[in-house]
Structure 1
Amino acid sequence: MDLDDDILYEDDSGNESSENGDDQFMEMNMEPESSSSQKRDEVDDFQFEILTPDKIVSHMVDCIKEVNAVVEIPATTTRILLNHFRWDKEKLMERYYDGDQDKLFTEAHVISPHRSIVSKPKKTTRQTAAASSAEVTCEICFLSLPSKGLTGLECGHKFCTLCWTEYLTTKIMDEGMGQTISCAAHKCDILVDDATVMSLIRDPRVKLKYQHLITNSFVECNRLMRWCPAPDCGNAVKVAYSDAKPALCSCGHRFCFACGENWHEPVRCVWLKKWIRKCDDDSETSNWIAANTKECPKCRITIEKDGGCNHMICKNQNCKADFCWVCLGPWEPHGSSWYNCNRFDEDDAKKARDNQELSRSMLQRYLFYCNRYMNHMQSLKFEHKLYASIKVKMEEMQQHNMSWIEVQFLHKAVDVLCQCRQTLMFTYVFAFYLKKNNQSIIFEDNQKDLENSTETLSEFLERDITSELLVDIKQKVQDKYRYCESRRKVLLDHVYEGYDKDWWEYIDI
C-alpha cells in the first residue's frame, strides 16, 4: 500500500496550517532521511544520532513503510500495531506470521483488515440514494441526520461529524491522548486510526497537537530512542543499542542514555535513582523525627524533649504517663537515682534505645554525604560562571602578544574543572551506598586526591591573572588541570575495574 494516499501524511482538507509543523508532518513521507546525520563517538565507541523533529517524523514514516511493504495493511493500522509492540519491528513481524492474526489485532484494539466480507446483492442506484437519504439518529446528540452525514470506524459505530469532532478535540487537547483514543461508543475499545482523526479534525491547532502526541509516543515507546532532557530542546537521540553511556545532544546537553539524568559516572543508574528519590521524598524528615523524638511508651504519641529534665509527663489528656526519656521505662522505679537508668533494662526499653541510635546514625551518615554532594553541585554552578570571567582574561592576554590559540588553555582548564566537580559530586552518591572494604578505602583515597587537586585548580583560576609572567602562569595552569585530569582518570578506572571484578558491595538503604 502506498502511504501517499494516507490522510495522516498528506493534507487534502484544503485548510492552511498556521504553523509549519503541520505541513512538515504531512509531507515528510516524500522526503528521504538526510544522509548527513550527526554522529559522534563517545566512551567505548558508543555511537548515537541526533534527530531533529523533522527527522523524527521521517524516521517514523520510514519504519511504517518498511513494515507495511511486508504486511500490506493500511498504514494507520501498521502504526497502531508498531506502537503496540513499542516499535519493535522484528517482534511485530514474528507475531504477525505466527498464524494467529485475529488475536494480534484484538490485543492491539483494531479491526483486522483481513476479516471475511460476506457478499451482498448489489443495490440499484435508486436504493443507494434512498439509503443515503434515510435519517439515522446519532447516539450521542440524538439528532436525526441522513446516514451519509454520520461517520464511524470499522467496528460499525457511527456518530455525526460534530460529535466526533468534539469528542476527538477533548481527548487530544484536554486529556493529551493521541495513540490511545478509542471509539466514542460505550465500552468499545477499538482505537481511532490516524486517517479518521485527520479527516474529522479541522482546527490546525488540534491537528498539530495530535501529530506531536503521535511523534512523542513514537520516541517514548522506542527503546533505542530518547528525548533530550534539556529544557526547550526538541531533539531526540537514536542509538544502535541501549546502554548506560553518555550521549551529547547538539544543544550541548550531556546525559545518560539509559536513565536520562545528567551524565553521572561513576555511580550506576539504579543507585542514582534511589539517591534522587531519597533526596526528594520525606524519608529524611522521618529520620529526623526518629532521631530527635520518641514515642510515649503508653499511648505511642510522638514527643519532643524541650528541657533538660529526663522526667517526662505525656501531655495527652487521656494518658498522662510518667516515664524516663532515657530508657522509656516508668519513672517511679528510678527513685532518688534520677539519671541512673542501669537499674531498668528490660528488653523493650533496650530495643527502643537501639532503634533510636540506629536512626540517629543513619541520619548522620546521610547528612555527611548529602552535604558534600550538594556542596560540589553548588560549586559546579559557580564554576560555570567562570567561563564569563575567563573570557575576559583571555581577551586581556591577547592584548599582551598572545594569540587566540595560545590563550585557549584557560577555557580548557575550566572544562576540566567542571568535569572534576561533576565527577566528585556523584562519587559521594556512590560512596553513600558503598560497604567498607579494602577497595572502598582505595576509592576514598583517590576521591580525596581528586578533591584536593580540584580545589587547588579552582582557587588558582579565580585569582587575578596579571600581564606579568604570562608564560609562567600558562605553564602552571596547564600543569594543574592535567594533574586533575590524571587523578580523575585514576579514580574512574579504579571504579570501573571494581565493576568488572565485583569488588563493590552495597548497603541497600
Structure 2
Amino acid sequence: MADADDLVYDGYEDSMDEYSDLGDGEYDDIEDGTSVVGDMNGDDDIDDDDDDDFDIMSDDGMFVDQTIPVTQERKKSYEVDFKSLTIEGLEAAQHKEVEHISLMFVIPTSDAAVLLRHFQWNKERLIERYMDSPEEVKWEAGIADNPNCPKHIELENFTCDVCFMSGEDYGGKIETVSLPCGHRYCIDCYKHYAEQKVREEGESRRIQCMNEKCKLIVDELTMSIILTPATMERYRLLLDRTYVDDNNTLRWCPAPDCELAVECHVTPKQLHAIVPSVHCDKQHWFCFGCAEAAHQPVICAIVKRWLKKCQDDSETANWISANTKECPKCASTIEKSGGCNHMTCRKCKYEFCWICSGPWSEHGNSWYHCNRFDEKASSGARDTQAKSRVSLERYLHYFNRFANHEQSARLDQDLYGRIEKKMDEVQVTSDLSWIEVQFLKKAADTLTECRMTLKWTYCMAYYLERNNMTELFEDNQCDLERAVEELSGQLERPIDCDTIPAMRQKVTDLTVYVQKRRDILLSDTANGYQEDRWRWNVDT
C-alpha cells in the first residue's frame, strides 16, 4: 500500500512546482500525457528501414543485428486490456473459429459453425465432448451425416406435404429443399417458414427442420438458398448478435445506435476486485462487467445496490419513518403538521405526546418540560425514529453530492460550446495557433471525466465501513474535488487579452494536476481491491 504522504496532498499549488518552470515548447508533451523519447516514424535522423534495429560488433569482428524494443506506456493499475470490434471484425473472428474446428474434426464449415453455436463458442468444451463421443455431440447439436441427400433440387413426381403443390402445378418440376434428414418440402414453404423465424421471431441460431419431430438445424448454407438477400442480411446480423451474446469475453456497446462490440477478458469472478471500464472506437465509455455507464472506482455489486436504493421506495419509507409516528393505541400513521406536541389521533381520538409517545393526561400543561424520555414504553419509538432520521440524513448527504456531480457533468457538456468560442477568441487575440489552443478542450474533457469519477466515489463512500482506509479514500476524494472545482472556475473566467500566456499555463498546470489526482485516487482504490483493504457495510 502506498504511503499516505504519496496519496494525500494538502493543496495542489506545491505539487505543481515541477510544471511551473516549463517553457512554451514543452506544453504539448504535458497536455498529451506522454513523453517524447525519439522519432519513431523515421522522419528525422533515423532511416525508415532502421527504426527498430541497430548493429553492434561482436568479439569476432562480425556485425550482429540487434532489435531495440519499442517502449509502450505502462498500463495503470485500474486499467484493463480491451479491444473494440466492428461487425467485420466479429465475422472474421467467427470465420477463424469455424475454420479451426472444421480442420480439426474434418467436417464441413457449416457443421462446424452449428457445433460452435450449440456450445456457445466454447471451443475447449466442444473439443473435449467431441473427442469422447462425436456422434452423440452431432446429434445434440442438430447435425446429421447424409452426403447422398441433395439439399436443393427440382423434382417431377413430388408433392409438398405442407401446401400440397406438385410438379404438375409448376409445369413439370417443383423446386424442393431438404436437410440431410431427408424431410423435403417445396422451396416456397421453406422460404415462408425460415423468413417467419428470422423476421418475426428474431431466431437464427436454432432454426430447426420443418418437420416438427426432427431436431436438425438449418445451416447457413441452406439458409442462403432459401432466403432473399435482404432477409439473409438480417439473418447474418442475428448470428453476429448471438456470437457476442454467447461469448463471455464480448459485449455490445450500450450506446444508442452503436454497432461496435468490445472484447475484454475480465471474468464475472473477478468483478469483486476489478472495475473494467472500457470504450468502443467511438469513445463510448461503459462498464464491461454490468454494461452500466463507467463507474470507477466502485465495483459492480455496490453500484447495483446503490442504483436500486436510489430508484425504489426505500428512501420514501425512510422519510415516513423519520417524519411520522404511529398512534400508540391504534397504530395509525400520523404526521405532525403544527408546532404543538399535543397530538390527537383522528381515528381513535387517543391523545398523546409527540415527543415521548406517552399519554397526554400525564403531561398536563407542562408538555414542554416532558420528563418521559426514559420511559421504557416510549424509548423504542424514539430510538427507531432517531435511527431513521440519521439513516435518512446520511443517505441524503451522499446522494446529494452524487447527484450534484452528475448534474455538473451534464452542465459541463454545455461548456464545450463556450470553450470553442473561447478557443476562437484566444486565436484572434493572441498569436496562438488552433493546435496550441487545444489545451482548453483537453481541460474540459478532463473536467467531465473527473466529475464522473467523483460522482461514483460518493456511492463507494456510502457503503464503506468506517476505518483508516476509508479516511484515506475520503482525503483523496477531497483533494480531487478541490482541484476539479478550481479547474472548473478557471475555465469559466472570461478571456483577458493581457493574461493569455499566464492563463494558458494555469489551465495546463491545473489539467495535469487534476489528472494526477484522479490517477492517485483510482490507483489507490484498485490496489485496495487487490489487497482486500475495503470493507463494505451493505446493510445500510
Q: TM-score range by the shorter chain?
A: 0.7 to 0.9
Shift of 1:86: 2.4
Q: Which whole-Å CA distance do the structure 2 matches of 1:404 and 1:251 have between them?
A: 23
Q: 1:68 to 1:272 in 2, by over 3 A?
A: same
Greater RCO between the two (CA within 8 Å, min separation 6)?
A: 2
**1:236-251, aligned counterparts within 5 Å?**
236-239=261-264, 244-251=275-282
The answer to whether residue 299 in structure 2 is matched with residue 274 in structure 1 is no
The aligned residue for residue 55 of structure 1 is 89
Of the three residues 100, 104, 113, the one matched with 2:137 is 104
Q: 1:337 to 1:82 in 2, by over 3 A?
A: same
The aligned residue for residue 233 of structure 1 is 258
Alignment TM-score, normalising by the size of structure 2: 0.71
Q: Which whole-Å CA distance do the structure 1 matches of 2:535 and 2:318 have between them?
A: 24
Q: Which whole-Å CA distance do the structure 2 matches of 1:353 and 1:469 have between them?
A: 61
Contact 1:366 1:432 in 2 (8 A): yes
Of the three residues 476, 489, 505, the one matched with 1:475 is 505
The aligned residue for residue 479 of structure 2 is 449
Unaligned runs of 5+ in 2: 1-71, 168-172, 268-273
Shift of 1:293: 4.9
The answer to whether residue 116 in structure 2 is matched with residue 82 in structure 1 is yes
The aligned residue for residue 69 of structure 2 is none
Contact 1:246 1:256 in 2 (8 A): yes
Of the three residues 258, 265, 274, the one matched with 2:296 is 265
The answer to whether residue 424 in structure 2 is matched with residue 395 in structure 1 is yes
Shift of 1:468: 0.7
Q: 1:215 to 1:388 in 2, by over 3 A?
A: same
The aligned residue for residue 157 of structure 2 is 133
Q: 1:492 to 1:55 in 2, by over 3 A?
A: closer
The aligned residue for residue 366 of structure 1 is 395
Shift of 1:210: 1.4
How many residues are matched?
446
- SS state of the match for residue 197, structure 1? helix
Q: 1:447 to 1:231 in 2, by over 3 A?
A: same
Which amino acid is the alignment partner of residue 191 of structure 2? T
Contact 1:40 1:48 in 2 (8 A): no
- SS state of the match for residue 247, structure 1? strand
Shift of 1:437: 0.6
Shift of 1:434: 0.6
The answer to whether residue 221 in structure 2 is matched with residue 165 in structure 1 is no
The aligned residue for residue 463 of structure 2 is 433
The aligned residue for residue 48 of structure 2 is none
Q: Which whole-Å CA distance do the structure 2 matches of 1:259 and 1:174 have between them?
A: 29
| Percent identity (aligned) | 37
**1:23-38, aligned counterparts within 5 Å?**
none
The answer to whether residue 244 in structure 2 is matched with residue 219 in structure 1 is yes
Q: Which whole-Å CA distance do the structure 2 matches of 1:54 and 1:393 have between them?
A: 40
Q: Which whole-Å CA distance do the structure 1 matches of 2:197 and 2:342 have between them?
A: 63
Q: Which whole-Å CA distance do the structure 2 matches of 1:321 and 1:148 have between them?
A: 89
Shift of 1:463: 0.7
Shift of 1:305: 5.4
Q: Which whole-Å CA distance do the structure 1 matches of 2:73 and 2:186 have between them?
A: 52
Q: 1:245 to 1:149 in 2, by over 3 A?
A: same
Residue by residue over 1:181-234, the C-alpha shift from the partner in whole angstroms, topping out at 9 and shown as x without a partner, is 3444446554433233332222x3322221111111111212222222222221
Alignment TM-score, normalising by the size of structure 1: 0.75
The aligned residue for residue 113 of structure 1 is 145
Q: Which whole-Å CA distance do the structure 1 matches of 2:419 and 2:128 have between them?
A: 58
What is the alpha-carbon root mean square deviation over aligned residues?
A: 3.7
Q: Which whole-Å CA distance do the structure 2 matches of 1:303 and 1:461 have between them?
A: 50
Q: Which whole-Å CA distance do the structure 2 matches of 1:325 and 1:306 have between them?
A: 14
The answer to whether residue 325 in structure 2 is matched with residue 255 in structure 1 is no
Q: Which whole-Å CA distance do the structure 2 matches of 1:181 and 1:354 have between them?
A: 62
The aligned residue for residue 67 of structure 1 is 101
Shift of 1:505: 0.7
- SS state of the match for residue 50, structure 1? strand
Which amino acid is the alignment partner of residue 172 of structure 1? V
Q: 1:462 to 1:296 in 2, by over 3 A?
A: same
Q: 1:191 to 1:360 in 2, by over 3 A?
A: farther
Which amino acid is the alignment partner of residue 492 of structure 2? E
Q: 1:282 to 1:206 in 2, by over 3 A?
A: farther
Q: 1:494 to 1:50 in 2, by over 3 A?
A: closer
